[in-house]
């Protein structure tokens, strides 16, 4: 069961003196719609497991993996019999690594990893999750550090798989590497300055590309347009401000880089499927 649920917000009970929690779970229990600050990784071991996100039903088969990002609303449904690993970890540490923060920032809220979708790394990811489970239940020193080392390896594999599939207009390996590093840096810059007046002209110039060239490469690298990426970062920042009930919606909008409350509300609803007020209400239920 979810141990601490207030409205739809789950406060995770981490293992004592750590920022991680893992369940080797065989409960025939459904978990209602909820969200939490830690990231979550789920992998069935026996029988299927169902996750519902934004009205999309995702059925995982044994050894298939799902990554659920911080703040994503989701529901879990268990079969009559089965077993799965449910792992949660505070992700603030990961965001302190600039390259990794850039990778995490354009991963979807829900990422399903199967032998078919990511054949080159699925077996390695499966093995790392099993190692995390085994490590979690040992009494060894530095268990948390060991688990975070494996979690970092998981995201490095996912990130490298993504960047290796990044197609540029240059054929040389050296140029591909240069472009990948440049766009990781650009994403990091946007993450840090998203509340400022960032324009396509300015950022493409900062990257050293024409607007046309930059627009195509940025979309290939992040899977979203430049302005959508900027707005996603602004909305993510706004979510942290909305937790404070003393800040008005107008103040949140302006502090998050939006020109008006109406533009903020419109973009928030487009990306989060609820208004800022509804989001705030969910958090404080």
Copy the structure tokens of residue 108.
């979807």
Q: Please tell me whether residue 268 adopts helix, strand or coil conformation.
A: helix
CATH number of 5-164: 2.60.120.280
Are 158 and 102 contacting, i.e. CB atoms less than 8 angstroms apart?
no
User: Which is nearest to 87 in space by CA: 167, 20, 148?
Assistant: 20
* pLDDT band, residue 264 (cuts 50/70/90): very high
What is the CATH superfamily name and number for domain 228-284?
Homeodomain-like (1.10.10.60)
Mean pLDDT for 229-238 is 91
Q: Mark out the alpha helices in the chain (DSSP H runs).
A: 92-95, 98-106, 122-136, 143-164, 173-193, 200-207, 211-222, 226-242, 249-255, 261-272, 276-284
Pick from 103-107, 154-158, 271-275: least confident = 103-107
Tens-place pLDDT, residues 177-231: 788 888 888 988 998 899 999 999 999 999 999 999 999 999 888 888 999 999 9
Pick from 19-33, 75-89, 234-248: least confident = 234-248
* pLDDT band, residue 72 (cuts 50/70/90): confident
Mean pLDDT for 145-170 is 84
Burial (0-12, 13-18, 19+ Cβ within 10 Å), 90: middle
Mean pLDDT for 227-240 is 90
How confident is the model at residue 258, as a pLDDT? 94
Has this prediction a pTM greater than 0.85? no
How confident is the model at residue 203, as a pLDDT? 94
Average model confidence (pLDDT) across the chain: 89
Q: Which residues are CB-contacts of 59 (< 8 A; sequence separation ≥ 6)? A: 48, 49, 50
Mean pLDDT for 153-176 is 76
User: Which is nearest to 74 in space by CA: 108, 48, 97?
Assistant: 108
Burial (0-12, 13-18, 19+ Cβ within 10 Å), 129: buried
Are 219 and 225 contacting, i.e. CB atoms less than 8 angstroms apart?
yes
How confident is the model at residue 166, as a pLDDT? 66
According to DSSP, the residues that pair with 84 across neighbouring strands are: 25, 44
* pLDDT band, residue 171 (cuts 50/70/90): low
| Structure letter (DSSP) for residue 166 | -
| Structure letter (DSSP) for residue 12 | P
How confident is the model at residue 283, as a pLDDT? 62
Pick from 1-10, 109-118, 265-274: least confident = 1-10
* pLDDT band, residue 168 (cuts 50/70/90): low
| Residue 181 or residue 17, greater confidence | 17
User: Which is nearest to 44 in space by CA: 2, 82, 73, 77?
Assistant: 82
* pLDDT band, residue 114 (cuts 50/70/90): very high
Pick from 1-10, 21-30, 103-112, 263-272: least confident = 1-10
Share of the chain above pLDDT 70, in %: 95
């Amino acid at each position: 069961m979810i141990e601490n649920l207030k409205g739809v917000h789950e406060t995770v009970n981490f293992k004592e003196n750590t920022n991680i929690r893992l369940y080797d779970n065989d409960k025939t229990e459904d978990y209602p719609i909820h969200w939490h600050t830690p990231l979550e990784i789920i992998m069935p071991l026996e029988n299927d497991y169902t996750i519902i996100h934004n009205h999309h039903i995702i059925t995982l088969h044994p050894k298939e993996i799902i990554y659920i990002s911080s703040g994503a609303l989701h529901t879990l449904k268990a079969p009559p019999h089965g077993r799965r690993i449910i792992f949660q970890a505070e992700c603030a540490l990961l965001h302190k690594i600039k390259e990794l923060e850039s990778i995490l920032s354009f991963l979807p809220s829900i990422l399903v990893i199967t032998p078919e979708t990511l054949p080159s790394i699925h077996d390695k990811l499966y093995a790392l999750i099993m190692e995390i489970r085994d490590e979690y239940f040992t009494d060894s020193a530095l268990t948390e550090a060991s688990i975070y080392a494996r979690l970092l390896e998981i995201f490095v594999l996912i990130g490298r798989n993504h960047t290796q599939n990044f197609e540029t207009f240059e054929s040389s390996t050296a140029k591909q590497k240069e472009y990948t590093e440049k766009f990781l840096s650009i994403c990091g810059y946007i993450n840090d300055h998203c509340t400022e007046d960032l324009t396509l002209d300015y950022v493409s110039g900062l990257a050293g590309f024409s607007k046309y060239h930059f627009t195509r490469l940025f979309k290939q690298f992040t899977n979203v347009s430049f302005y959508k990426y900027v707005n996603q970062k602004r909305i993510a920042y706004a979510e942290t401000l909305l937790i404070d009930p003393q800040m008005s919606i107008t103040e949140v909008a302006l502090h998050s880089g939006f020109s008006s409350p109406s533009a903020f509300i419109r973009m928030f609803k487009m990306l989060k499927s609820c208004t800022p007020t509804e989001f705030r209400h969910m958090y404080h239920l």
